[in-house]
Structure 1
Amino acid sequence: MPVILKRAATSTGSLWCTARSISMSKTFDIQPIGRFVGQSAAIKRPKEIAYFSYDDKHQFRLDDSSIRYYYPPTIGADLSRGFDTFEKLDDAADDHLDSLLKTIMALEKEIDKRVETDVITWRGMMTKIMGAIFSDRDGFEMNATLFQRTIFIEENHEYKRQSQARQSRQFSQPGRPSQDMMSFWGYKFETLCLLPRPWDETPREYIENRENEIVNNHAQYCSVVTTGIGSTTMILGGEVDALWDSKPVDGGPIKWVELKTSAEIRHDGDLMNLERKLMKFWIQSFLLGVPKIIVGFRTQDGYLKRVEEMDTASIPSTVKRRGKGTWDGNMCINFAASLLDFLRATIKGDGVWRIRRKERSPAIEVFRIEEAGHGDIISDEFINWRIKLALDVPLPSPVAEPEPEHELGSAASSGNGTTGTQAVVSTGAYVLGL
């Protein structure tokens, strides 16, 4: 058996010791990608089943207090303004899946049932998985563990920190805006686009003064959805930026809005970069059922030049029709379906597993790094709750499953009209248009 690096007992962090793996490393080949061509795997439309907020101090709240509403920004705004007063979130701590699991616990306490699903993770992890087929320059590392027939997946925090430091060094070039500044431009754009209440309840003075607001990225509204790709069901948690109008009270589709920034298009190279960005934009919104993406195009020195609204549904077909063929939506879905099947067949029994894709590697590796336990991926609070629930309820009952869709062009979007963390059944179409 191969000798691998194994973490010291109680953490999934960066303390390592040499140990023997109890299982061989298994690989999922990305190439040849031609085997993923064709009609997409079945999709189960995203449905919001719960939500939570982080407040202005980034404290967890089991409510929708941080939900925001979209209102068009002022064209020509200086996206660099306020950089010196930016209240930036310190993400040095590894929060694991804690907030997502707290929200699932609250839902289960309310419905008095265990929610059954194959995978629980953040939307960001599934974005990396879906995009891996066409993102050969990017690597990732995730930690995973199996508990009560569900695979829990989180990002390997130490790898994330190292990647961020490496990217910061790469962007540190004379005459070029820093990585920190360009990240700020995105948060500034959000501040220029968001209101704390619907526009008709917001004073005109506030709307016109948004350019002077202190930028703070602590507050977030996070949607928790049940969805599925291929034969794998999932519960995903992820931040959504804004509502287009308001949440429907009749359980209809939620008109979420995702906000993004990109450099203005000057030449073919910029167009190619935008096309690659659009894949990530589409995947992120597709996974949570966000129907609209609003992109703020900026100048090279950070001035907002124009705003373009994009229907999530139309992005893959638009790229296929007008783009350079850098990615294909159906192939992203088929790739994700196959990789998820592979993970479910590989991650068996106790312990902590590593899911790793090295930069420019043609394969994804899966190997065990701890022989027992769950590391810090699952909180003790969640484990104890599930044990208590198992003692109280003999057989778990599944959450209302998303409706299966066998055509990519007919997957449906999320929607609800509930409050708190009630389970949701929603209606409406989420047409991807591939």
Structure 2
Amino acid sequence: MPESSARSRDAVSGSSDVLSSSNRGRRKRARAADDVTGPSLLGFVQVDVRSLDAAAVRAPKYEEPLECGQVSKRRDERLTTYDATNLRRLRGVNAGAGADLNQGFGTFRDRDRREIYPAPVHVIFGAIEASGQTKVLEDVDVITWRGNMSKLLTTAWNVSEAWTMEAELVNNRTIVLNVKETEEGLRKALTRDGRDERMCYWGYAFEEAACSEKPFEEPVDCMECFCCVVKTKMGDLNVLMAGEVDCFEGDAELANYVELKTSRVMNDERQVKRFEKEKLLKWWAQSFALGVRRIMVGFRDDHGRVVKTQMLETLKLPGYVVKHANSWTPKDALRCASAVLTKLKELLADEPSGTRVRVEYEPKKAKHRVNFIRDDSIPDFLPADARAKLMNDGSWRERGPQPTARPTSASEPPRDAPAPELSETASAMSIRARTEGRTNRIEYIRSLGPAALLYMQGKDPRRTLRGRVDDDTMGGIGIDPSIWIQQKANYTGIDAQTSPQMMNYDHKAAPASSAKSSGARRASSSGVGDAHDRASTENSDRENSQN
């Protein structure tokens, strides 16, 4: 191997040592005998795209997540139940349009922003026990909240936001990641002014406006939420992950869950480019990791009024940024997350049992470098009964709340129903597909790949494709890179007849090939307000960064 290539590979891994099994054993005993009095750097990994390329890190396959647990969280934790009680139904694709997001701000019940550990892992284990699916713990490699996974997926393009998480390798097999707030994040949360607090509230208010039959009659409480637990696989790593879900449309199952987001309306190409390269990356990472297929966006003005809503498909989001140089891609995002988790497991395997580390990323000190720091002061964040289960103890020491049976509609197929088969080919489907504006969608449908095709047929790709999501269905290809800019004109309201997936897109500036393949209806809309400053657009709307 050339010397330069070797150096690149060593930089990615953070170490050039290749330890034999005997050396590892001696190292473990030596570490156990040491009296470690302070934090120490175990290693690091470079996660920029260039370093990943130099190390020949391949993009892992990511399986379609399958739901295996549910949690309805309450402000009073004693009232938390492991069911879908708190799962809300979306009132429609236009729900929340025209809403004043300032309503209810005076009675808003926020969470304690001083909390260092806002998302304890015991909830994940409680949901798994209540669902009767503890078998998934037998071969799980990573247990985490979705917020941690989102951070890993976006780090290769993160040049400003620090993050941290805590980790322990249990039984030399399972990495458990604990959510932790950074000091910088706590400081910002505790020093927000009235404008920042109001803009943070707008995200919760949009959920209320879009899902409640009688919005704002009761105080909005961000601690009352629904979370689902999913199992998936990233490369060779079996992942168990929990995350907050805003609502559903149709039957109450993962395939119909919808994420709700708010964002300021855009007026020029600079704002559009930043929106597509930065905000869409975060939205994609959050929804893709958990298997949420759709995102409904409430585009608001500077005064907190929703001027339009728009439904986006998670798998199509990467297609909007392919026209930008050095933009994010799903493959590189998965390579980044895989590189961090693989290196973390490798380092912890050489440490004594019970070693806990901080996984830190501080871009202001070193961009794209993730550090692994051994710190004996990290408290034990894993419940004793959960640890016993991961250690193959075979039984839970304490029984948690029992699951509440969820009513199943008569039209909902049983969970163990046989996998549906493809009833028609892509060509046959495209012939009968509804055309929009006399534009045929044959090439568009063919380009989406098998999972998206099944989804458009109303079928579940998880059952037919056995959960495998290939490169094409991850959105690696360019799909309809539409322009989001609104025109300077008087806003006249939302056209209810417009296709919800493509409503309010303006294709005037889109490439001809994109306009031809999309078959989307044109809908006129207007810009509201003046250009916003950078700081406000960064922190204006709520992000589910922890859950």
Output the TM-score relative to the length of structure 1: 0.76
Rounded Cα–Cα distance in structure 1 between residues aligned with 2:112 and 2:236: 38
- For residues 376-387 of structure 1, the aligned pairs below 5 Å read 376-386=380-390
Q: Equivalent residue for 1:403?
A: none
Query: Cα distance, 1:27 vs. partner?
Result: 1.1
User: Aligned to 2:316, which of 309, 314, 323?
Assistant: 314
Contact 1:53 1:222 in 2 (8 A): yes
SS in 2 for 1:389: coil
Q: Equivalent residue for 1:289?
A: 291
Contact 1:55 1:220 in 2 (8 A): yes
SS in 2 for 1:61: coil
SS in 1 for 2:393: helix
Query: Cα distance, 1:145 vs. partner?
Result: 0.5
Q: Pick which of 288-297 and 356-365 moved more.
A: 356-365
The one-letter code matched in structure 1 to 2:50 is: I
What is the CA deviation profile of residues 321-351 of structure 1, one whole-angstrom value per residue up to 9, with x for unaligned ones?
Answer: 4x46532222111221222211111122321
The one-letter code matched in structure 1 to 2:316 is: S
Work out whether 1:389 is the aligned partner of 2:390: no
* Uncovered stretches (5+) of structure 2, i.e. residues with no partner: 1-35, 397-447, 456-460, 477-547
The one-letter code matched in structure 1 to 2:45 is: F
Rounded Cα–Cα distance in structure 2 between residues aligned with 1:411 and 1:92: 42
The one-letter code matched in structure 2 to 1:240 is: V
| Shift in CA distance, 343/266, structure 1 to aligned 2, threshold 3 Å | same
* Uncovered stretches (5+) of structure 1, i.e. residues with no partner: 1-17, 196-206, 393-407, 416-424
Rounded Cα–Cα distance in structure 1 between residues aligned with 2:137 and 2:268: 53
Query: Cα distance, 1:180 vs. partner?
Result: 1.2
Query: Cα distance, 1:312 vs. partner?
Result: 0.5
SS in 2 for 1:226: strand
Work out whether 1:427 is the aligned partner of 2:463: yes
Query: Cα distance, 1:44 vs. partner?
Result: 1.8
| Shift in CA distance, 141/61, structure 1 to aligned 2, threshold 3 Å | same
The one-letter code matched in structure 2 to 1:355 is: V
Instruction: Report the count of equivalent residues.
Output: 367
- For residues 170-181 of structure 1, the aligned pairs below 5 Å read 172=193, 178-181=195-198
Query: Cα distance, 1:267 vs. partner?
Result: 2.2
Structure (1 or 2) with the greater strand fraction: 1
| Shift in CA distance, 20/140, structure 1 to aligned 2, threshold 3 Å | same
Rounded Cα–Cα distance in structure 2 between residues aligned with 1:74 and 1:26: 48
Q: Equivalent residue for 1:61?
A: 81
User: Aligned to 1:356, which of 346, 355, 360?
Assistant: 360
Rounded Cα–Cα distance in structure 2 between residues aligned with 1:33 and 1:409: 28
SS in 2 for 1:271: helix
Query: Cα distance, 1:300 vs. partner?
Result: 1.1
Q: Equivalent residue for 1:97?
A: 121
Q: Equivalent residue for 2:209?
A: 192
Rounded Cα–Cα distance in structure 2 between residues aligned with 1:336 and 1:139: 16
Contact 1:105 1:382 in 2 (8 A): no
| Shift in CA distance, 144/112, structure 1 to aligned 2, threshold 3 Å | closer
Rounded Cα–Cα distance in structure 2 between residues aligned with 1:120 and 1:112: 14
Query: Cα distance, 1:128 vs. partner?
Result: 0.3
Rounded Cα–Cα distance in structure 1 between residues aligned with 2:110 and 2:296: 23
Rounded Cα–Cα distance in structure 1 between residues aligned with 2:69 and 2:167: 23
Work out whether 1:118 is the aligned partner of 2:141: yes
What is the CA deviation profile of residues 38-60 of structure 1, one whole-angstrom value per residue up to 9, with x for unaligned ones?
Answer: 98421122111111111364542
Q: Equivalent residue for 1:50?
A: 69
What is the CA deviation profile of residues 75-123 of structure 1, one whole-angstrom value per residue up to 9, with x for unaligned ones?
Answer: 222111110011223354435212112223444x566674321110000
What is the CA deviation profile of residues 126-183 of structure 1, one whole-angstrom value per residue up to 9, with x for unaligned ones?
Answer: 00011000011111111100112101011224x2x641422664x64xxxx6221111
Measured on the aligned residues, the alpha-carbon RMSD in Å equals 3.3
Work out whether 1:155 is the aligned partner of 2:194: no
Contact 1:226 1:235 in 2 (8 A): yes
Contact 2:120 2:381 in 1 (8 A): yes
| Shift in CA distance, 386/313, structure 1 to aligned 2, threshold 3 Å | closer
Rounded Cα–Cα distance in structure 1 between residues aligned with 2:452 and 2:341: 21
SS in 1 for 2:187: helix
The one-letter code matched in structure 2 to 1:48 is: E
Contact 1:409 1:433 in 2 (8 A): no
The one-letter code matched in structure 2 to 1:121 is: T
Rounded Cα–Cα distance in structure 1 between residues aligned with 2:198 and 2:230: 32
Rounded Cα–Cα distance in structure 2 between residues aligned with 1:145 and 1:111: 20
Contact 1:168 1:179 in 2 (8 A): no
- Where relative contact order (Cα < 8 A, 6+ residues apart) is larger, the structure is 1
Radius of gyration: which is bigger? 2
SS in 2 for 1:347: helix
SS in 1 for 2:474: coil
Query: Cα distance, 1:303 vs. partner?
Result: 0.8
The one-letter code matched in structure 1 to 2:296 is: I
Q: Equivalent residue for 2:228?
A: 223
What is the CA deviation profile of residues 308-327 of structure 1, one whole-angstrom value per residue up to 9, with x for unaligned ones?
Answer: 11010100012214x46532
The one-letter code matched in structure 2 to 1:245 is: G
Contact 2:264 2:299 in 1 (8 A): yes
Rounded Cα–Cα distance in structure 2 between residues aligned with 1:273 and 1:211: 32
Output the TM-score relative to the length of structure 2: 0.61
Rounded Cα–Cα distance in structure 1 between residues aligned with 2:123 and 2:452: 26
SS in 2 for 1:222: strand
| Shift in CA distance, 60/412, structure 1 to aligned 2, threshold 3 Å | farther
Contact 1:260 1:295 in 2 (8 A): yes
Query: Cα distance, 1:273 vs. partner?
Result: 3.3
